[in-house]
Chain A
Amino acid sequence: MRRTGNLRFNYPESLFQFPVFLWVCLAASLTHGSSPQEGKPLTGPNDNVHFNRDIRPLISDRCFQCHGPDENARESDLRLDQRDLAKKQLQGSSLEEIKLWQRINSDDPDFMMPPPNSKLSLSSDEKQLIGKWLLADSPYEKHWSFLKPGKVPLPPVEHLDWCRNEIDRFVLQKLETLGVKPNRPASKERLIRRLTFDLLGLPPTDQEVDRFLADESPDAYEKLVDGLLAREGLGERLTSQWLDVARYSDSFGYQVDRGRHVWPWRDWVVKSFNSNLPYDQFIIHQLAGDMLPNATDQQILATAFNRLHPQKVEGGSVPEEFRVEYVADRNHTFATAFLGLTIECARCHDHKFDPITQSEYYQLFSYFNNIDEAGLYSYFTNSTPTPTLLMSSGDQKQKLALLESTIQAKETELAALEIDATAFSNWFTQKENIQPSAPIEYRNFEDFKGGANLSVTGPVGKGVQLSGDDAIALKTGNFTRNQPFSFGFWMNTADKKDRAVVFHRSRAWTDAASRGYQLLIEDGKLSFSLIHFWPGNAIRIRSRKEIPLKKWIHVSVTYDGSSRASGLELFLDGQALTSEVIRDHLYKNITGGGGNNIAIGERFRDRGFTDGKIDEFKVFDRELSGLEIENLVKTDSFQKAKKIHLADLPDRLKNKWQEFFQIHVSSTHLEIRKQLGVLRKQRSQQVDGIVEIMVMNDRKQRRPTYRLHRGSYQQPKEEVFPGIPAVFSSKQIPKNRLELARWLVGPENPLTSRVTVNRYWQMLFGDGLVRTPEDFGSQGQPPTHPELLDWIATDFADNNWNLKRLLKQLVMSATYQQDSILTPDLIERDPQNTWLARASSYRLPAEMLRDNALAISGLLSPRQGGGGAKPYDLALSFKPLGPDKGEGLYRRSVYTYWKRTGPSPVMMTLDAAKREICTVKRERTATPLQAFVLLNDPQFVEAARVLAEELIQKHPQDPITIAFRRSTSRYPDAKEKKILTTLLRTQKKYFSENLEAAKKFVSVGGRPFNSQLDPAAVAALATVIQTVMNFDECIMRR
């Protein structure tokens, strides 16, 4: 019998025969890794061997490594996870004739199973179990969690009077079979304390306890439950738990770990819980709210859930490596949070234990692989990684919409505006004065003195040959996206470039998400872009044809200030190039980040224009007309064109002159252009002031997903398409994320409702009915009460996934309302409380310990939502942050700023999840380091002192009783009172004799000491209160 299951040593059995008592302790302190065979496998309500309960976990753990679903790891072509494939090994006229039996009982190292080199073994109990199963003709079952929960009838029980609702029927039936009586009901004081913490994460107030004790009506408890479920604190309490699942963090993580603006998502979660958003919608909104028809901002905001994984900025990293990591994280979080499956094994190979192939992993992956995101966030700017949602207020939204429609109207007006023929001919007759636009900067490279860049013969005098590592800096170029601008220059490319930066205005490539604009050669083609954050907030066009090599060509680029790809144009030797639109979604500025002027031939950590030549580089702060562009190539063409009389103008040339007239001369056109410029500027100002948040938004064109060999981004194999694992035998394949989310909560899905109710069961009972909430697969533990789990899961889904109803159902059960008091008999027979013959007791979670201290001292701030609060201990974090002053010190812990690489050391010490990855279960430990926090952290010291100040003023006669009751929800008995009274006396003596010490002690914390009070008296009482606040009944949920 492997009791702790922690370590896979082949221990002789006898070593595990240590006293039951220690086992209890181990079990209580261990949260992971317990074997499914815990307890006594051969005793129970039913002595038959159940495949799913008894055999599958065993052969999964010891045999599937080589004889399971993973084809590549399979030995001797033997597969034990399916009966028809294993048959030969399982049959025989007697046990001794069955091959499997022979193998597992052999001593021959070449024959025995598991083989010695696997370092696995079977205990004799386990072998016996397998023997029983083989004798029963080795029946198989599909793994329980992949079977849909069916309608379960309520089991009959003898003591129906004990049952308060359906839940109790299942619990009691098992207890009656075992001959165990449920525990007595908890006292009212204990019950209100337990319930208030469980639902609100806070202690009940004195008044609430009084009221409940005084209420003798039969529905007093139900009224209490209803009241608590209606409180706003519920949302905060439930959110605390959900943040672990969502791996929430206020910073990006990995190494550099900058702050990020994601708390509006956290506030969405709090609101959703409080408004009791049906849980199926809660899931759909977070996974795919962006894809709902007419999605609201709130629904889109919910999808930030998928973007809360750590993100990278470290220079020199390969972006694709990390982008793949983000998608994988989304995929794993999806599977753990909603399906209770550990799919990450299948990232590199077929799952060894569960029926999930590697291809199926990437089918799921593909649902999350379709947003326009970068592998790195921007080091040099603070852009929000795309895709994003503008967090605009209603007012801002309205203003912006109005601006957009005005701009659109103006653009339509401009396009439709005809040229005034008289004005044109009048102007044209005076054309002697007409000149092409002058550049704002012009480099002819005639007297270029290079270092690594060389002076060479150009098309006009001298040009320059670039090293690719040395930029030529210009003095201009810091254009905005509302502003038209153009460039023209000669270039000569020595070889076909996969990638080369010809010129740009930006600080860097991936290190700035390419903020600015840039002309590149990509696969031999010209590409021009304006970028806020590549790829999701940018416009880019690319020539369809490759540019000619080894000859001088003239290249021009124009931009009309529209922020649209259609406003960009590329020219080769004066002729417009046909190009394709690569991106057309620019909605924020292109300035900032540094690198304000144009640089030719090189960019930070990018590939330069090695051996490329450049000459006659001209920068224009306006959109050039075709005539002007031709004139850049043939510098006499403009003058020549001027010599022709209006009447003699061929159509082509007339159109060109009209274009020139329209862009640079026509007052009606210029007026509208000017207005457009103003409007676009207003729009930019408006939008630039609106903060963004990362959300989901699928690309129109699906990004192909490939199976990645060994999970490596560098080894894509065959393409895979959206789909869900075959084990679910789904009738329809969800086409996209939204359909995937709907499938999750649809009637076909066997897992989501079970996983959900199990997690809430865990929240209210200490452990789930499935003790491995993260793994409902064959390596996880089977449910302690399978029928009960199915009944609640079905009931939950049938009742519109009503979460508050579920919570009420759980806490209204007699099972929940039992006392937690232990008996030696029960602890020996059921150390892990899998029978539920008592309520569980455990130390309060980290957030509750701190919130409790704040609540009982009256320091707790009622403020909800907003940016992260920074309590004292963040100053001592590994990545110290200055603590807040005033209110920020006293907010509920759910709002504590979460810095991923150095989270609150107090929360860490008290076993909060690190939130690096999706976590559905916390461990509970007891270490001396926790005692340091509870005794010495200024947060707790201050709380005790502030309460002492209050009690000395309001209850000078008997402050101890009040303090005790506020900390434990009950009155102290005589002994307790005496212990504390004695302490108060000795402490008062000490502090009176050491008044300076008392003054120091009462000055701990940000809340000023009330100087009207006697420091020694307050210090002494505060010490007593600290004692009570460290007392078991204050910090344990019982």
Chain B
Amino acid sequence: MNLNKNCTGFESPSELDRRQWLSRFGMGMGTTALAHLLQSESWGNTDSKRKLHHPAKAKRVIFLFQSGGPSQLDLFDYKSQLIKDNGKELPESIRKGQRLTGMSGNQSSLPLVGTPFQFSKVGQSGQQISEILPHLAQQADDLCIIKSLHTEAINHGPAVTHMQTGSQFPGRPSMGSWLNYGLGSENENMPSFVVMVTKNKGGQPLVSRLWGAGFLASRFQGVRFRADRDPVLYLNNPAGVSTKSRREMLNSLRSLHQHQLANSFDPAIEDRIAQYELAFRMQTSIPQTTNFSDEPEHVLKDYGPDVEKPGSFAANCLLARRLAERGVRFIQLYHPGWDQHGGLPGGIRGQCKETDQPSAALLKDLKQRGLLDDTLVIWGGEFGRTNYCQGKLGANFGRDHHPRCFSIWMAGGGVKPGLSYGQTDAYGYNVTDRGVHVHDLHATILHLLGIDHERLTYKHQGRWYRLTDVHGNVVKPVLA
């Protein structure tokens, strides 16, 4: 590179590849871990084989996080034994003295409770799915249901944090920020890690650290899209300022910066110019994404009536597809309300009503557009629920937190469709076959994206960190 050593001025960088300049922004290609290599292509220093650790099956992830701990026993993990033994005490041979939460741990009695819902084998694959997920049942052949997921955490805070960051305690980067750091975005006009939380849902509180960047640079953190006038914090011009007025202002700002650049040598000034230009473009690209007016009627209908309500799970699912189309790398949805300590039959029915149709529609929609092949969709919560009843057994029973086994499903992006993976015992209490730890799940997700989980590392306070810490094995049998 030719730099004028006499410092009489500054050679315009414009002759360099534009991407190179944008690369300095998190929102653009970013100084991301793998991005050095992606970028290096643009000036001919190519070694494309090393772009990723191995070829990626998935380019992006949509994680439909179901916060609160959905009951696997009432949705995916059917146990006839529980129905048979309804009301009987949880056998010690099954519990094996394992720790319970402080909520039911001191109960004098732990009566088993079977699911009140019908299950049937659906699709060619014959996956067993509960009657309260009728729409999802139609997509059964696309799903890979893991029934043997397990974690150590028994309360929401640690468990959600574990699922999202690989550690029970706060301070680590979230999965989305790891990917953002590792892969960057496919679209410089969009953030590469977007978070949406269903609006107006009670339930266990979520916290912003779940999509935080931990010790990674803050530009890798998730950008929360809100169902609001500003989908992104202060995206819109202030009241009274038109696009034209803003454009004129930014032109002047650019002139000031170019003038400054002419008098002094500092790449940071170029950065500043690009930063404001990119912001201006995002003021257009983001509202275009969040505005559904170009969606055909039948698509809207597929997602169900809630899609009309901004911030609903249905609307967020549709927005997730639109973001996926635009190359957003990690799209994280949160839907709270699965914490049925009591009143489970009614509660879980309500949750399914809100989520079943949109989740199924999203799969269908992605598939129709050919996006499901390289989009990994994940549905699941932070832990499962107990096979015994919390409090008094009755028609309106509840279930406590259960970390030893729970079910999630994945679809698209290189996972084996129509597969049921792993097994739990007849009481749905312990994993008996092919257990998958949360770290294993993380390793598998990274693998699908072309990343070796042991090699995506970041040095912080003297130590190299990974999403999977010092654990995790790729669950090979679920790979397509």
Interface residues in chain A, defined as those with a beta carbon under 8 Å from any beta carbon in chain B? 4-9, 11-12, 14-15, 17-22, 24-26, 28-33, 119, 253-257, 310, 312, 314-318, 325, 336, 342, 344-345, 352-354, 467-469, 510, 605-608, 610, 772, 774-775, 777-780, 821-825, 827-828, 841, 873, 876-879, 900-903, 905-906, 908-909, 911, 914, 916-917, 923, 925-933, 935-938, 941, 975-976, 979-980, 982-983, 986-987, 990-991, 994, 996-1004, 1019, 1023-1024, 1026-1028, 1030-1033, 1036
0/1 interface trace, chain B 254-290, chain A, CB 8 Å (1 if under): 0111011000111111011001101100100000000
Is the beta-carbon distance between A7 and B463 smaller than 8 angstroms?
no
Choice from B16, B215, B276 contacting A1030 with Cβ under 8 Å? B276
Residues of B at under 8 Å CB distance from A?
Answer: 1, 3-5, 7, 10, 13, 16, 20, 23-27, 31, 33-34, 36-37, 39-40, 43, 45, 47, 50, 53, 99, 101-109, 154-157, 169-171, 182, 191, 197, 204-209, 212, 215, 217-219, 221, 223-224, 226, 230, 232-242, 244-246, 248-249, 252-253, 255-257, 259-260, 264-269, 271-272, 275-276, 278-279, 282, 392, 400-401, 454-464
**Complex contacts, B238 vs chain A, CB 8 Å:** 936, 938, 941, 1001, 1004
Other than the known A11-B37, A905-B233, what 5 A-B pairs have Cβ atoms closer than 8 Å?
A: A7-B458, A316-B154, A825-B5, A926-B24, A927-B219
**Minimum distance in angstroms from A27 CB to a CB of chain B:** 10
Q: Which of A342, A467, A928 is close to B462, meaning CB atoms less than 8 Å apart?
A: A342
Closest A residue, CB atoms, query B461: A342
Contact of B36 among A4, A822, A986, A994 (CB under 8 A): A4
Query: What is the chain A residue whose CB lies nearest that of B10?
Result: A824
Q: Are A257 and B205 in contact (CB under 8 A)?
A: yes
Instruction: Verify B255–A979 contact, CB threshold 8 A.
Output: yes
Given contacts A255-B205, A315-B103, A317-B155, contact A780 B257 (CB under 8 A): no
Q: Which residues of the other chain, B, contact A468 by a CB distance below 8 angstroms?
A: 108
**B33 CB contacts on chain A under 8 angstroms:** 6-7
> Given A255-B207, A1000-B240, A469 and B267 touching (CB < 8 A)?
no
From residue B207, how far is it (CB to closest CB) to chain A in Å? 4
Chain A neighbourhood of B248, CB < 8 A = 983, 986-987, 990
User: Provided the pairs A30-B31, A1030-B276 are in contact, do residues A312 and B157 lie with their beta carbons within 8 angstroms?
Assistant: yes
B37-A15 in contact (CB<8A) = yes
Residues of A within 8 A of B169 (CB): 325
Interface SS, B side: loop
In the complex, residue of chain A having the shortest beta-carbon distance to the beta carbon of B226: A876
B455 close to A119 (CB less than 8 A): yes
User: A317-B155, A469-B109 given as contacts; is B50 within 8 A of A11 (CB)?
Assistant: yes
Contact A18 B45 (CB under 8 A): yes
Kindly list chain B residues whose C-beta atoms are within 8 Å of the C-beta of A774: 461-462
A25-B31, A937-B234 are known contacts. Are A345 and B244 too (CB-CB below 8 A)?
no
Q: How far is the CB of B297 from chain A (nearest CB, A)?
A: 33
Given contacts A316-B102, A928-B275, contact A8 B455 (CB under 8 A): yes
Of the candidates A25, A256, A312, A1000, the one whose C-beta lies within 8 Å of that of B23 is A25
Q: Are B266 and A841 in contact (CB under 8 A)?
A: yes
B102 close to A315 (CB less than 8 A): yes
Residue of A whose beta carbon sits closest to that of B33: A7
B461 close to A824 (CB less than 8 A): no
- Taking a contact as CB atoms closer than 8 A, the residue among A828, A928, A990 that contacts B27 in the complex is A928
Measured in the bound complex, the distance between the Cα atoms of B27 and A617 in whole Å is 70
> Does the CB pair A929–B43 fall under 8 Å?
no
Residues B25 and A928 in contact, CB atoms below 8 Å apart: yes
Closest A residue by C-beta to B216: A32
Within the complex, which residue of B24, B197, B454 is in contact with A29, where a contact is CB–CB below 8 Å? B24
**Shortest beta-carbon distance, A985 to chain B, in Å?**
10
Q: List 7 A-B contacts (CB under 8 A).
A: A14-B45, A21-B1, A775-B462, A822-B264, A822-B265, A997-B242, A1004-B240
Contact A608 B458 (CB under 8 A): no
Known contacts A314-B157, A878-B224, A1030-B276; A926 and B25 CB within 8 A of each other: yes
List, in ascending order, chain A residues with CB within 8 A of B10's CB: 824
Residue in A closest to B256 when the chains form the complex, CB atoms: A1031
| Known contacts A256-B205, A257-B205, A1003-B239: A923-B217 contact under CB 8 Å | yes
A319: nearest chain-B partner, CB-CB? B102
Alpha-carbon distance A929/B27, docked complex (angstroms): 9
Given A14-B45, A316-B155, A932-B234, A1032-B207 contact (CB < 8 Å) = no
Residue of A nearest to B455 (CB): A119
Contact B257 A1032 (CB under 8 A): yes
- The CA of A958 and the CA of B225, in the complex, are separated in Å by 42
Specify which chain B residues have a CB less than 8 angstroms from the CB of A828 in the assembled complex: 3
State whether B259 touches A976 (Cβ < 8 A). Answer: yes
Evaluate contact between A255 and B257: CB separation under 8 angstroms. Answer: no
Given the known interface contacts A926-B24, A930-B275, A987-B245, the answer about A908 and B50 at a Cβ–Cβ threshold of 8 Å is no
CB-CB under 8 A from B108, the residues of chain A are: 467-469, 608, 610
Q: How far is the CB of B460 from chain A (nearest CB, A)?
A: 6
Min Cβ gap A939→B in Å is 10
Find A927's partner among B102, B156, B275 (CB 8 Å cutoff): B275
Q: Which residue of B3, B240, B260 is within 8 Å of A997 (Cβ)?
A: B240
Q: Cα distance A562–B266 when bound, in Å? A: 73
Are A9 and B205 in contact, CB atoms less than 8 angstroms apart? no
Alpha-carbon distance between A906 and B460 when the two chains are bound, in angstroms:
25
Query: Which A residues lie within 8 Å of B20 (CB)?
Result: 22
A372 and B457 alpha carbons, distance in the complex (Å): 39
Please, which residue of chain B has its CB at the minimum distance from the CB of A603? B106
| B101 and A33 form a contact (CB under 8 A) | no
Report Cα–Cα, A923/B215, bound state, in Å.
9
B283's closest neighbor in chain A, by CB?
Answer: A932
